[in-house]
Amino acid sequence: MNNRAKILDIAMNLNRLGNWAADDYNAKKGRISTFLTNTSSYLQNLDTTSLPKIFMGTFNTFLKEYRLLEKEAAKELKNPIFWAEDMITWGNILTHRSKLIQD
């Protein structure tokens, strides 16, 4: 799988996470936890050395935000809607910025 496809898979997971949290966070905590673990694994296995520099600024900012969102989800979310909006926003940003990746 090429890097663009991997970024799009990560973006799709972020959108799923956001939708589940917004829909019914309490009922979907287990699924959210599983997908956070999977997404974190995808991020760790991504070869960032071959990503274009024009993409890396956005990606590095995303990684910092994602780590904070992941830590927040490890606790009880104070406001699942805000957390969901952040996840969906990053999913959309990565989807659009993935066009910069030429594999």
Q: Which parts of 2-79 fold into alpha helices (H)? A: 3-24, 29-45, 53-74
* 102 compared with 34, residue with greater pLDDT: 34
- How does residue 25 score in pLDDT terms, banded at 50, 70 and 90? very high
**In this structure, are residues 58 and 97 in contact, taking their beta carbons and an 8 Å threshold?**
yes
pLDDT in tens, 29-76: 999 999 999 999 999 999 899 899 999 999 999 999 999 999 999 988
Q: Using the 8-state DSSP alphabet, how is residue 78 labeled?
A: S
Please check the confidence at residue 103 and state whether its pLDDT lies above 80: no
How many beta carbons lie within 10 A of that of residue 89, not counting itself? 14
The C-alpha angle with vertex 75 and arms to 74 and 81, in degrees rounded to 5, equals 95
